[in-house]
Structure 1
């Protein structure tokens, strides 16, 4: 007989629980700007890398393309992100921030910094840095 599952031994459960907790902190701060944490990360990526093809953006976000398309719709609807056909291939769309998207990102960056400071105050700056490095090593 298989022994019962113990959640305190499950890496996936621990990571998802921690992710939900941390996401709540960031979304509390970002909510004042009207963004979710996921939307903020998309805007941040596009702020650093404009004219990004959907496939590259999905890879960078570690998201399925269909999930990314659903996440992009409100950003496009609200005029924060624009998709334009690539010159070399009309089926490839390149995503960039609009002028309004850049303004919203700048406002959201202030809220993000506040969330970052709150998390690091609770968790510890050095521990947070170590945690980020460990987590990035999983996906990098």
Structure 2
């Protein structure tokens, strides 16, 4: 899992603009999957929007966002089962080293995508101040 070149990061910053935040804080294990994630969203007729990355606030202390190993992707509500289908497709595409979680019971429904090498200190829903009753 080698480092991406600065040219790759420049292209990623161009293709996945986060304003001033950029993709610089994201790990290569996340950045290299951005094109495939975007393509899968497009196949499901959804807009690919990253709503949280490495430097963004509001994540629990043990969140993988802080180390750049997680991103959140905006999704609509799941009235027609589209998000559940998308989650299954993402899980198949990314493989066993990645987790895809749907957080639909919060103010901003989103998918949490993380690269994990095994041990988990906490779950994305360990934040006691939020209601994740629709956690999938």
- TM-score, normalisation: structure 2: 0.32
Quick check: which one's helix share is greater?
1
Quick check: which one's strand share is greater?
2
